[in-house]
Amino acid sequence: MTDLRIQVAVPGPFYTPLTYLSERPQAPGVRVRVPLGPRRVVGVVLGEAGADDVPVEKLRPVQAVLDSEPTLDGHQLALARWLARYYHAPIGEVVQQMLPVPLRAGKALWQRGETEWHLTEVGRRADVEALPAQAVRQRRLLTFLQREGAATVSRLRAFMEDYREPMRAMERRGWVAARQRSCLDAPIDKVQRHELNVEQQAIVEAVPQAGFSAHLIEGVTGSGKTAVYLELVARTLAAGRQALVLVPEIGLTPQMVARFTAWLGEPVAVLHSGLSDGARHCAWTQLARGEVRVALGTRSALLGRFDDLGLIVVDEEHDPSYKQQEGVRYSARDAALWLAHRLDIPVVLGSATPSLESLQRARRGRLVHHRLTRRATGAAMPEIGLLDIRGERIEAGVSAPLAAAMRAHLAAGGQVMLMLNRRGYAPVLMCHHCGWQADCPACSAHMTYHARPEQLRCHHCDAVRPVPERCPHCGSGSLVAVGQGTARLEEALAERFDVPVVRIDRDSTRRRGALEAYLEQVHGGEPMILLGTQMLAKGHHFPAVTMVGMLELDQGLFSPDFRATERLAQLVIQTAGRAGREGAGQVLIETRQPQHPFWAQLRTGGYAAFAEAALAERQAACLPPFWHQALVTAQATRPEVAQQFLVEAAQRLRAHSEVEVLGPVAAPMLRKQGHWRYQLWLQAPERGPLHGALDGLLPWLWQHGGHRVRWAIDVDPIEM
Ligand code: ADP
Ligand code: ZN
Ligand code: ZN
């Protein structure tokens, strides 16, 4: 038998697939177990390998074929290839990201949910006393099931180790039966959808149902974008196809999930990072087999397998969480456009504050630009007011005029929301005597002072240290917490106002179910102060909030990151959008820069005016979305090692004259987790030369990087 050479994507630092020998041809997408050095790993067949010049004797054979049908379908393989090429990522790592964890470990392809035992009609009416007195375990099981209705095998095992034999006995009586439990919640009652208004209806009609088309819905906060998505999804389902809706963070928007299931009246596969590996695999299976038709998920849901995808929606398309910041640094929004094109289906991006990238694509006709200009509930858009706090006394965290406005809204029965984008108690712990500050030993950053429990925490590497009793530098006992985070503001407000204060940030919502509990309290509607970080800005609908206050935004006006003002404008408009959704609302921003043109622009012309001006600035400065960028970063435990590595990389890159190369420069956070970080900025007016330069550099990077220097390529970077 002659051995065939096949290409296999294996996990690990290989920037091409590896070649193995197989006795038989293997279909692309099939998983195989292959030797890799001393280990055996699970890889995915990509296709036949050409006869390259590695002699057959050097190639190793496939050890086992794990699938009788492909795990990844043709569209996924095509997407994997595109991601690997565009983001210059190893194909093996891209493929890993597409596999649910159990499949990476070689588990069976389909995960059918768990076996569940339930009572039959007869069993439900059965009397425990009808069982013989000595059948103790049957009696206990019957009572358990009559209380629970049904139970999965893992629940049963927890209840009674040896449940099997008595369960069989009851099965023979016809009292119980086994079934496969779906990994999805049971279908819920359908709720009537809103009748769409004229603007909404016009968009639904302008999105063709078949064939590739790409759309941008720019709709003010509360304009009913979700209702438009739902209508488009419903139409897709009616045509017998599946729909995928991407959202930035599901944990933050339990309401969104409820709305989808209730309005569509059918189960929705919810995909996010909080799922167990088994649950994710189960949802993956049901989508791949067409057993569920709607997927609502974060970034990685785009990498899933679908039976017949007919629509992709990307909600809050401007959100930075769509860009993966480590490993394969892909943008799920941009990949969604590529995939829709490949599948020949419509793709819809939506936001109240579209990214400048998408607005520019719309200008060039690559996205059809639709607008929703009014709130669907008829409520007016809130006015954005500035509070000049230069010279104001800041008492208990807020300025006197802000406190006065808060009191007025609370007295009128409204809820007040305050946004302070900094968690913890205080950002700095300082010695009053000598000026010493508590810094993270591994990062170029202060450690944040947390009061409950009392400790110092680095928000960049998660290091935790006890709070010193005396200054480590001069021994003085006068250490003071400087500045305020959400926890300190909460404490101050609780003392000064006699309404409940609810804080929502990453610390307060770490516990499972905590966010839901807080949201429920807020939805109760009584007057209260709701305070938190930008988590509050995301998609929530707080009907009783009549006033929104924003604190300490000014530093966003002076950041070295050219995207900082775009982020700030988005944050302000999104946060402001939480106010007065059902009635008149007021937004007040504390600033020491009231004369800054940014504010005038945003207040008079809204986000559109800001975006218009920002695009002109970007064009003049040859920045994205006009020019294209890529970042080569290097980090090492010794700074000169990382620097030297990039100096040599830059020399190679400078051979490409169409590409501008800047650097090496220090990363904005020079040291992180004990590593010194430097960057090379590449930019060019066209993408082609940029990719060409990176392709030319890759072999050198792979050869010279490694343990000593860790490097990464970020195409279309959004963070410095
Ligand atoms: P967005 O996502 O654009 O911020 P939502 O989809 O959350 O807006 O809608 C805002 C509010 O308007 C929601 O309470 C929603 O139920 C309501 N709504 C949406 N469409 C309509 C409509 N056609 N008629 C009445 N109310 C609507
Ligand atoms: Zn000191
Ligand atoms: Zn740190």
Which helix (H) or strand (E) segment holds residue 176: the answer is: strand 176-180
Ligand 1 atom with least separation from CA of 541 = 7
pLDDT score of 180: 75
Q: How far is the CA of 222 from the centre of ligand 1 (A)?
A: 6
Q: Is the CB of 350 under 6 A from ligand 1?
A: no
Q: Considering the domain boundaries, does residue 214 fall inside one?
A: yes
Q: Considering the domain boundaries, does residue 438 fall inside one?
A: no
Specify the 3-state DSSP secondary structure of 551: strand
Report how far residue 332's alpha carbon sits from residue 242's, in angstroms, rounded to the nearest whole number: 18
Q: Is the CB of 321 under 6 A from ligand 1?
A: no
Ligand 1 atom with least separation from CA of 315 = 2
Same domain, 162 and 87: no
Using only the alpha carbons of the chain, give its radius of gyration.
29
Same domain, 218 and 307: yes
The single-letter code of the amino acid at 474 is C
pLDDT score of 511: 82
Same domain, 203 and 59: no
Q: Considering the domain boundaries, does residue 445 fall inside one?
A: no
| Beta carbons within 8 Å of 106's beta carbon, 6+ residues apart | 31, 33, 42, 66
The single-letter code of the amino acid at 341 is H
Same domain, 514 and 604: yes
Q: Which of 66, 85, 104 is the last residue of a domain?
A: 104
pLDDT score of 417: 96
Q: How far is the CA of 224 from the centre of ligand 1 (A)?
A: 3
Model confidence at 1: pLDDT above 60: no
Q: Considering the domain boundaries, does residue 562 fall inside one?
A: yes
Model confidence at 187: pLDDT above 60: no
Same domain, 529 and 594: yes
Q: Which of 617, 642, 662 is the last residue of a domain?
A: 617
Q: Considering the domain boundaries, does residue 50 fall inside one?
A: yes
pLDDT score of 185: 64
Q: Is the CB of 304 under 6 A from ligand 1?
A: no
Mean pLDDT across the chain, nearest whole number?
92
Model confidence at 184: pLDDT above 90: no
pLDDT score of 382: 87
Residue 454 neighbours by CB distance under 10 Å: 10
Domain count within the chain: 5
Q: Is the CB of 194 under 6 A from ligand 1?
A: yes
Structure tokens at 641: 């090692």
Pocket test for ligand 1, best of 226, 296, 375, 381 (most atoms within 8 A of CB): 226
Q: Which of 573, 590, 617 is the last residue of a domain?
A: 617
List pLDDT tens digits, range 632-678.
Answer: 999 999 999 999 999 999 999 998 788 999 999 999 999 999 999 99
Q: Is the CB of 219 under 6 A from ligand 1?
A: yes
pLDDT score of 79: 98
Report how far residue 440's alpha carbon sits from residue 671's, in angstroms, rounded to the nearest whole number: 10
pLDDT score of 278: 83
Owning domain of residue 407? 384-425+484-617
Q: How far is the CA of 314 from the centre of ligand 1 (A)?
A: 17
Same domain, 280 and 135: no
List Cα–Cα distances, 203 to 218, 340, 364, 396, 517, in angstroms: 11, 18, 19, 47, 36
More confidently predicted of 183 and 490: 490
Q: Is the CB of 540 under 6 A from ligand 1?
A: no
Model confidence at 252: pLDDT above 70: no
pLDDT score of 12: 85
The enclosing domain of 331 has a CATH number of 3.40.50.300
The percent of the chain in helix, strand and coil, each rounded to the nearest 5, is 35, 25, 40
Pocket test for ligand 1, best of 191, 194, 255 (most atoms within 8 A of CB): 194
222 close to 376: Cβ distance less than 8 angstroms: yes
259-273 per-residue burial string, b: 16 or more CB within 10 A, e: under 16: bbbebbebbbbbbbe
At 696, the pLDDT band (50, 70, 90 cuts) reads: very high
Q: Considering the domain boundaries, does residue 324 fall inside one?
A: yes
Same domain, 222 and 317: yes
Q: How far is the CA of 480 from the centre of ligand 2 (A)?
A: 11
Same domain, 302 and 247: yes
Burial bucket for residue 521 (CB in 10 Å: 0-12, 13-18, 19+): middle
Q: Considering the domain boundaries, does residue 189 fall inside one?
A: no
387 close to 551: Cβ distance less than 8 angstroms: no
Q: Is the CB of 197 under 6 A from ligand 1?
A: yes
Same domain, 249 and 321: yes
Report how far residue 421's alpha carbon sits from residue 437's, in angstroms, rounded to the nearest whole number: 21
The enclosing domain of 49 has a CATH number of 3.40.1440.60
Q: How far is the CA of 445 from the centre of ligand 3 (A)?
A: 7
The enclosing domain of 702 has a CATH number of 3.30.70.600
* Backbone φ, ψ for residue 202 (5° rounding): -60, -40
Same domain, 526 and 570: yes
H helical segments located in 577-686: 597-620, 639-653
List pLDDT tens digits, range 485-506.
Answer: 999 999 999 999 999 999 999 9
pLDDT score of 416: 96
Q: What is the mean pLDDT of residues 616-641?
A: 97
Ligand 1 atom with least separation from CA of 259 = 16
Q: Considering the domain boundaries, does residue 473 fall inside one?
A: no
List pLDDT tens digits, range 513-555.
Answer: 888 889 889 999 999 999 999 988 877 788 899 999 999 999 9
Structure tokens at 633: 């970063």
Burial bucket for residue 585 (CB in 10 Å: 0-12, 13-18, 19+): buried
% of the chain beyond a pLDDT of 90: 77
Model confidence at 188: pLDDT above 90: no
Same domain, 352 and 395: no
Q: How far is the CA of 194 from the centre of ligand 1 (A)?
A: 8
Same domain, 58 and 156: no
List pLDDT tens digits, range 65-112.
Answer: 999 999 999 999 999 999 999 999 999 999 999 999 999 999 999 987
Model confidence at 183: pLDDT above 80: no
List pLDDT tens digits, range 272-298.
Answer: 877 778 888 999 999 999 999 999 999
Report how far residue 169's alpha carbon sits from residue 209's, in angstroms, rounded to the nearest whole number: 54
List pLDDT tens digits, range 679-689.
Answer: 999 999 999 99
Q: Is the CB of 225 under 6 A from ligand 1?
A: yes
